Structure 1
Amino acid sequence: MSISLLLEMAESGDPDRVAVVDGDRRFTTSELSGLADGGAGVIAASGAQHVVYVGAGGVMQPLLIFAAARAAKPYTPINYRLSAEAIRELVDRLPDPFVIVDDRYRDMVASDDRLQTSEQFLAAARTAEPVVEFADPDDVAIVLFTSGTTSKPKAVELSHGNLTSYITGTVEYGAADPDDAALICVPPYHIAGVNAAMSNLYAGRKMVYLTNFDPGEWVRLVASEKVTTATVVPTMLDRIVRALEREPTALPSLRNLAYGGSKVGLPLVRKALELLPEVGFVNAYGLTETSSTIAVLTPEDHRTAHGNEDATIARRLGSVGQTVPGIEVEVRDDTGAVLGPGQPGELFVRGEQVSGKYTGVGSVLDEHGWFPTKDIAMLDEEGYLFITGRSDDTIIRGGENIAPAELEDVLVEHPHVHEVAVVGVPDPQWGQAIVAVVVPAEGVEPDADELREYVRTLLRGSRTPDRVVFRDELPTNATGKLLRRDIIASLHDARAEK
């Protein structure tokens, strides 16, 4: 099945329904489908083998996803926040590309005959000879570059089969109410941004795009467009909560708010639950290589866990929930043995939506189809999945393996701590020393020794941070992922300056 069929089904179900709201522009499913057919004609006429987009999204995201699919060419949205050099390097890694770029980023992309601005492409799509070609399910539909938080970005290849398996397995066709609307503010180059366009169309839900996130504008759009569901990354959730604390605003239409992309501190989750008691919160966990979500902590899970007197159930508020249909998971130790409940190890994932394939590398699935996520995880007795960090982030102090999340989960509960990241830095005596980098809560000046003692009383002495340093903010990328290597580099630079 080609992903282009998702738009075809949406159009056949309700051609006059408003599918996309992008600023002052509105497009019905029929109009979007017609533009995708014309856009496919523009792509086919270019002779290119790959479609690339450098821009903030909006209507260009679903249009290019489906225009590329109907031209049977892979599509790659690229992080427009990168430097011009980095953008050009990624474009050069793709074969024979046709580049569409938002006008404001035109100077970031090298000049080439196969280049159009977004407005030029839109205009051409309105008049081009339509093309509709159905790709094979095994053909590559989307190529996304990983965020490169720990290494050079890899190009992940997702097939039509991977993506349609995820959509049809987790979304009910046409199930949305006629007035349902989704607010989309995740970036187009993230897997959540790609799947937002496909899943909402398939469900029959209006998509409202906010291409430049601002918490005040987010709140305004929820109210004005009667948004019923939205997806945010943790940094966005934090800013929304702060905005609502400063100026309480009723959001009666909002039924579900999903968050994901990286770990969210439990104090923030609790505060959001209390500020928006009528909203169903969803924690979604997934990877680019798995075509998005593989586990979900449902609204019911959130409310059941929040404040529960049973410690086992209450702890699940910090989990990513249970696996979605069609997904299998295993937690393994260093020898490859499968571990039981309560035992941490590396998470392996299997299912039709799982790609595990990289351009220039090929598939990294094992002989039985399992994908190594490199995430350290644990399952409880009821199958709730807990993600404790990346294997690359493990601190080895005096020969003892220490997961940063173990300390972070404790420190973030201290009333003087707003955010915290724990990293390991080189140490001549212990191999690595533990450094806690803390963003203080508003209006307080935490004491480093007090925070160290707080950890010592709740964890083993070997888990006590060797140092606590304070920062105004933690470095993250646009999808909220913590940039630990930037923290380590800044600590190294600070030491070198002394």
Structure 2
Amino acid sequence: MSVSLLLEMAVSADPDRVAVVSENTRVTAAELHGMARRGGTHIAGSGARSVVYVGTGGAMLPLLIFASAHGGIPFTPLNYRLGEGALHELIARLPEPLVVADREYLQTMWRSGADVIESQAFLDLASASGDTGEEVAVDPDDVAVVLFTSGTTSKPKAVELSHSNLSGYVMATVEFASAGSDDAALVCVPPYHVAGVSAALSNLYAGRRVVYLRQFDAQRWVSLVRSENITNGTVVPTMLERIVVELEHNPTSLPSLRALAYGGSKVALPLVRRTLELLPDVGLVNAYGLTETSSTIAVLTPEDHWAARDSHNPEIVGRLGSVGRPVPGIEIQIRDESGTVLPAGAPGQLFVRGPQVSGRYTGIGSVLDDDGWFPTRDLATVDRDGYVFVAGRSDDTIIRGGENIAPAEVEEVLVEHPDVAAVAVVGVEDDEWGQAMVAVVVPRDGTDPDAEDLRAFVRSRARGSRTPDRIVFRGDLPVTETGKLLRRVLVAELTEALQYQGRDVR
């Protein structure tokens, strides 16, 4: 099964409905189908073995996903914010690439040595009348999309998602043609993120009009929700924070908005609670997933959010800090370091299994175990009702005096302090303790928190060993464009600063 089938099914349901909106461009399902077929015929005839996109997305993203599938060639959207050298290095790792680039990235791409075509020129080819050609047959296990990981802790890996992985995810989690005739999804996540790919596929399959905001701006996001009567949105945590600030400073009703999904990295509970207060009738969804799992593998539903907001039961209230329960088709296990499956409530590493799980990397191969389980490298627990609580990456664990400490244990306490806007806890090398725990705090506007007061705040709410050895203040935290914290940047900066100042960090 090719992902092309998802578009063909959408056309069969309602060929004349507007499927994609990007600035002044509006494309129906039938028009997108024809464009994808003509674009795919051009791709198949180019001799390319991979299709690369460098640009800000919009209508080009679904067009290139389906055109590449029609041509039987894997598609790779790259992070257009990377420097020229980094982009060239990633392109060099792909076989015989045809690069489609937005105009502002053309010169950079020409210097890569690959075959390059401007986005508008490709769009013109796809839009011209002419033969749509025959679709290239693909095996369901053939690679449909290749996405590079963010490389926050190591060299980016090329994740291979098959046609079966992607179509399996969509068909298991979305009801075909289930959207109302006026339903519209606002997509502002970048095209190189797995959420961008899955949003293009799942909204089309559901029958929603997909409206693209190519460069995120909170004020523009609010304006589009109102002008396009948006019913569904998907954002990463940094975007959600800016939307909340915009709505707090400029109160605006969003009567059409019914569902707002957030994910991509951990969201602080104070932000979730502020969102619930500002948008009490909007169904919030915490979507947890990985590139290797074709997007979402667990969701905390609107009903879960509302129940936590309205309940006085600590267990139900506490679920607001979870990522919810597995989506259909996904199995989960929590294992200890020896591989033993742990019971409910015990902390360990999260393993997942299901048709949408790839776990395969270019040049490395599959990292699934013999039974098809993928090691997420996330530390987690699962409660007796199946709610998953993610504590962070196993790589981030701080080993202080022989004791393992998950940064999230401390971060979740500190972020509740009224003077703390954001916080990251990291371990830095220490001669006495092995690692010392340093909390990097971003103060709320208009506040001037005291480090010792913050340490006392943690000490009063957590075990003494969870009290940071040192607290430093910054104006912001280093994050990727999708809101993932760059802990390695903090560790490097703190290590250099501590070496300059001396080794005593207490």
- Which of 371-380 and 107-116 deviates more? 107-116
Identity %: 63
- Which of 488-497 and 274-283 deviates more? 488-497
1:133, CA displacement in angstroms? Answer: 2.2
Post-superposition Cα deviations, 1:150-190, rounded to whole Å, max 9, x if no partner, equal 11000000110111110000000000000000000000011
Is residue 2:151 matched to residue 1:148? Answer: yes
Is residue 2:497 matched to residue 1:494? Answer: yes
1:75, CA displacement in angstroms? Answer: 0.3
Give 1:362's match in structure 2, choosing from 365, 379, 390: 365
Is residue 2:242 matched to residue 1:224? Answer: no
Distance in 2 (alpha carbons) for counterparts of 1:497 and 1:226: 55
Match of 2:132 in 1: 130
Secondary structure of the structure 2 residue equivalent to 1:458? coil
1:308, CA displacement in angstroms? Answer: 2.1
Q: Is the 8 A contact 1:178 1:205 kept in 2?
A: yes
Secondary structure of the structure 1 residue equivalent to 2:492? helix
Secondary structure of the structure 1 residue equivalent to 2:58? coil
Secondary structure of the structure 1 residue equivalent to 2:370? coil
Match of 2:115 in 1: 114
Give 2:302's match in structure 1, choosing from 285, 294, 299: 299
Match of 1:56 in 2: 56
Secondary structure of the structure 2 residue equivalent to 1:326? coil
Q: Which runs of 5+ in 1 are unaligned?
A: none
Identify if the C-alpha distance between structure 1 residues 496 and 48 changes in structure 2 by more than 3 Å, giving closer, same or farther: same
Match of 1:87 in 2: 87
Structure 1's consecutive aligned runs of 4 or more residues displaced over 4 angstroms after TM superposition are none
Post-superposition Cα deviations, 1:211-247, rounded to whole Å, max 9, x if no partner, equal 1000000000000000000000000000000000000
Q: Is the 8 A contact 1:285 1:294 kept in 2?
A: yes
Secondary structure of the structure 1 residue equivalent to 2:460? helix
Is residue 2:280 matched to residue 1:277? Answer: yes
Distance in 1 (alpha carbons) for counterparts of 2:127 and 2:274: 47
Q: Is the 8 A contact 1:83 1:108 kept in 2?
A: no
Q: Is the 8 A contact 1:376 1:388 kept in 2?
A: yes
Distance in 2 (alpha carbons) for counterparts of 1:496 and 1:406: 27
Question: 1:158-173 alignment to 2 at 5 Å?
Answer: 158-173=161-176
TM-score by length of 2: 0.97
Q: Is the 8 A contact 2:359 2:366 kept in 1?
A: yes
Post-superposition Cα deviations, 1:99-151, rounded to whole Å, max 9, x if no partner, equal 00011112322254621010011112223642322311011000000010111
Size of the aligned set, in residue pairs, is: 498
Q: Is the 8 A contact 1:4 1:134 kept in 2?
A: no
Computed over aligned residues only, the root mean square deviation of the Cα atoms, in angstroms, reads 1.0
Secondary structure of the structure 2 residue equivalent to 1:331? strand
Give 1:468's match in structure 2, choosing from 467, 471, 483: 471
Distance in 2 (alpha carbons) for counterparts of 1:366 and 1:413: 39
TM-score by length of 1: 0.99
Question: 1:122-271 alignment to 2 at 5 Å?
Answer: 122-127=123-128, 129-131=131-133, 132-271=135-274
- Which of 104-113 and 309-318 deviates more? 104-113
1:496, CA displacement in angstroms? Answer: 4.5
1:497, CA displacement in angstroms? Answer: 4.7
Identify if the C-alpha distance between structure 1 residues 113 and 471 changes in structure 2 by more than 3 Å, giving closer, same or farther: closer
Q: Is the 8 A contact 2:287 2:296 kept in 1?
A: yes
Match of 2:292 in 1: 289
Post-superposition Cα deviations, 1:262-287, rounded to whole Å, max 9, x if no partner, equal 00000000000000011000000001
1:491, CA displacement in angstroms? Answer: 1.4
Distance in 2 (alpha carbons) for counterparts of 1:238 and 1:191: 21
Is residue 2:457 matched to residue 1:454? Answer: yes
1:442, CA displacement in angstroms? Answer: 1.6
Question: 1:32-71 alignment to 2 at 5 Å?
Answer: 32-71=32-71
1:363, CA displacement in angstroms? Answer: 0.5
Distance in 2 (alpha carbons) for counterparts of 1:123 and 1:73: 20
AA aligned to 2:76 is T
Match of 1:388 in 2: 391
Distance in 1 (alpha carbons) for counterparts of 2:424 and 2:117: 42
Distance in 2 (alpha carbons) for counterparts of 1:407 and 1:191: 29
Q: Which runs of 5+ in 2 are unaligned?
A: 502-506
Distance in 2 (alpha carbons) for counterparts of 1:434 and 1:97: 45
Post-superposition Cα deviations, 1:447-466, rounded to whole Å, max 9, x if no partner, equal 00000011111111111101
Distance in 2 (alpha carbons) for counterparts of 1:330 and 1:111: 43
Distance in 2 (alpha carbons) for counterparts of 1:36 and 1:220: 30
Distance in 2 (alpha carbons) for counterparts of 1:107 and 1:355: 34
Distance in 2 (alpha carbons) for counterparts of 1:319 and 1:111: 44
AA aligned to 2:122 is F
Distance in 2 (alpha carbons) for counterparts of 1:418 and 1:445: 12
- Which of 124-133 and 12-21 deviates more? 124-133
